[in-house]
Structure 1
Amino acid sequence: MDDNFASIVGAIKMGRRIFDNLQKALGYIFAIHVPIAGLSLIPVLTADLPLILWPVHIVFLELIIDPSCSVIFEAEEAEKDIMKRAPRKADQPFFGSKKIIMSCLQGVNVLIITLLVYFIGLYVGLNEKEVRTMSFITLIVSNISIILSNRSWKQNIFTIIRTPNSTVKWVLGGALFFLIIVLEVPFFQSLFQFSSLKWYEIALSATAGLFSILGFELYKLLSPSNKYS
């Protein structure tokens, strides 16, 4: 048995990092499934609204969600203050109500922004496939933004981007690559029920997706003493 004090400290730090990363992954799962559920159900409530998400779109999303949880968050380095935190109470829940609420609110932000793009598209007279394409771009960019933002519940997005994590470029780069494929290759356009868009429609959709994390970033900015409860 290794009873070296440095080894004990290292083991505690590793345990806290693993615990932190599991919480981040679970928070992301809560966040991203709120808009998926909302976008799947809301158009069903009225026959006048075209469906946004079909099964093939949800499969595409899950191909991003699964490796993000199992690879990106698992590989995340420990937060700088991880060894300065007080020990957790024995009866403290793994994922407290504060984190559940904040994670779900992130998802609500994504849902609202994606629906805004959706209804703007309908308002200006775009057809069903064009509206679906714009909404899906917004959802994918929002998904990527949430992954990046949730890498830390304390640091801002600009600091997070500069923090090394070798898995990020592969998972998110792959997501963007395959998004381009389904948007541009005719076979996949037909499979996903998409349509070609003008450059400014793509830019609007992507920009809207980037703004989906604004609320969470403001929360981190205004709550520097976040206790990771």
Structure 2
Amino acid sequence: MVTYKHHFPHLHPKLFIPLYHMACPRTSAPPRKEVFHTIYQTSYAPFLRLLEKVPCEYAGHTPQFQSLVHHLLQWAWERGLFPDMTEDEIGLIAALSAYHDAGKAMLPPTLLYKEGPLTLKEFEVLKTHPEWGEFLVDLAIPELRGTTTHRFACEICRWHHERWDGGGYPDGLKGNEIPRYVQVVALADAYDALVAPRSYRPPVRHRRAANMVYGGECGAFWPPLLAVFAERASSIQQEVYGEKPDPPEQ
């Protein structure tokens, strides 16, 4: 029998959470209607309901994260960066992006909610969450193995921390080894994490966050996507987050 230990021999046994808690979430938890509003409108809806079995807590993002992914995909598509992508696939990827951090449900809450910077050892534990995410999603939707939906979900979970120059994790992919749609989720993840409040810091202003992403402080991203991002920076703050543009930095 394949066990968690077989997949992740480097992890401490105390980090293993029984499968029951993944496959049978607490009945008292409210339904994540906001997450599935978009995908119920697509042809994939009957299958995507199965993803409700995947834990989606500890995201650490704003409610606008999926909208940001959707906007970036749409703008990139308009620029010809995704010539073969359909509108349904754009909606599907944006919806599945809600689960990019599903693997964090397998990490200790004391680490996830720690006030202050992580130690190097803690960061190494945190870096296991993409692999956990892929594992959990694959386990939750075996009915979809071999489908586009399954591939999108697993690749988003596993590779959303990869970077264009190979400086990401867990696999050190670089350039076009990283699926382009995953690179969109990765950029959105970096930006939205900055503008979301943390227990140890206030949210970063949008203008500053955009400059940090574009300037490489969050790692290297696909250059054509960065160009779209820079072009739409003011639109992101207004259209996605519903806020007035930040004043120029002094």
Work out whether the TM-score is over 0.5.
no
Give TM-score, length-normalised by structure 2. 0.37
Bigger radius of gyration among the two? 1
User: Larger helix proportion, structure 1 or 2?
Assistant: 1
More relative contact order, 1 or 2 (CA 8 Å, 6+ apart): 1
